[in-house]
Amino acid sequence: MYGSDNPTEEVGMSELAKAFGEALRRLRTDRGLTQPQLADEAGLSEEWVRRIERGSASPSFETIEALAAALGAETTVPIRAKASDAHARAASLVAELTADEAEWLVATIAQLRSRPRG
């Protein structure tokens, strides 16, 4: 079981760990899972899932992959070129959307882009 004695654990809360924890919690609740259910599906301890969601632990890549598999989610590489402030705000807002809201947004943007610009 992962998370029982993980060497990547950190005492402080990094911004990345906090953001990951918030995203994990949002995805878990969107899927209708409890922390114990997610822990069981991912092969993790309940305490480890709680700490990851609080941002007080830094999971390994293997743990992130196990969580993603348990949630039916995909993983992406979190390192990319720095976006403009507007792009960063937009990405942050989009990341919080439900699947239905994201589909609506994509359709709306497609309509806007198909209009003549002038």
Q: What is the pLDDT along the chain (118 residues), one digit of tens a residue?
A: 544 444 444 445 688 899 999 999 999 999 999 999 999 999 999 999 999 999 999 899 999 999 999 999 988 876 766 767 888 888 888 888 888 998 999 999 899 888 887 6
3-state helix, strand, coil in the chain (%, to 5): 60, 0, 40
Integer Cα distance of 8 and 37 in angstroms: 23
Considering the domain 15-71 in this protein, what is its CATH number? 1.10.260.40
DSSP labels, 17-31: HHHHHHHHHHHHHHT
**Residue 97 and residue 105 in contact, taking contact as beta carbons nearer than 8 Å:** yes
**Residue 54 and residue 26 in contact, taking contact as beta carbons nearer than 8 Å:** no
Segments making up each domain of the chain, as ranges: 15-71, 85-114
pTM passes above 0.75: no
